[in-house]
């Protein structure tokens, strides 16, 4: 079952650093959010393969919105 990677805080997606099918290791930087003029990195919770990416640069997200899945 795929794990969901959720937004740690509300903000705007600045950059998605991975693609579907890409293999990542635990703690790899996978996405950058901007909140209150500060950038916050989102990291992989575990090693695996990126599944579906549910956001694009420029999207606004709320805390706990699903950003992508990790298989």
Query: Domain total for the chain?
Result: 1
Q: What is the CATH number of the domain that holds 32?
A: 2.40.50.100
Domain that holds residue 64: 3-70
pLDDT above 80 (res 1): no
Average predicted confidence (pLDDT) for the chain: 96
Beta-carbon contacts of 67 under 8 Å, excluding residues fewer than 6 positions away, are: 5, 6, 7, 13, 31, 42, 53, 54, 55, 61
pLDDT-above-90 percentage for the chain? 96
Strand arrangement of the beta sheet that strand 23-24 belongs to: 3-6, 66-70, 48-53, 23-24
Beta-carbon contacts of 21 under 8 Å, excluding residues fewer than 6 positions away, are: 49, 50
pTM: 0.91
Mean pLDDT calculated for residue range 12-25: 97
């Amino acid at each position: 079952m795929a794990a969901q990677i959720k937004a740690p805080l509300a903000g705007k997606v600045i950059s998605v650093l991975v693609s579907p099918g890409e293999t990542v290791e635990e703690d790899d930087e996978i996405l950058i959010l901007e909140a209150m003029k500060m950038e916050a990195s989102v990291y992989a919770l575990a090693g695996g393969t990126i599944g579906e990416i549910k956001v694009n640069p420029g999207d606004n997200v709320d805390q706990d919105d699903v950003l992508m899945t990790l298989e």
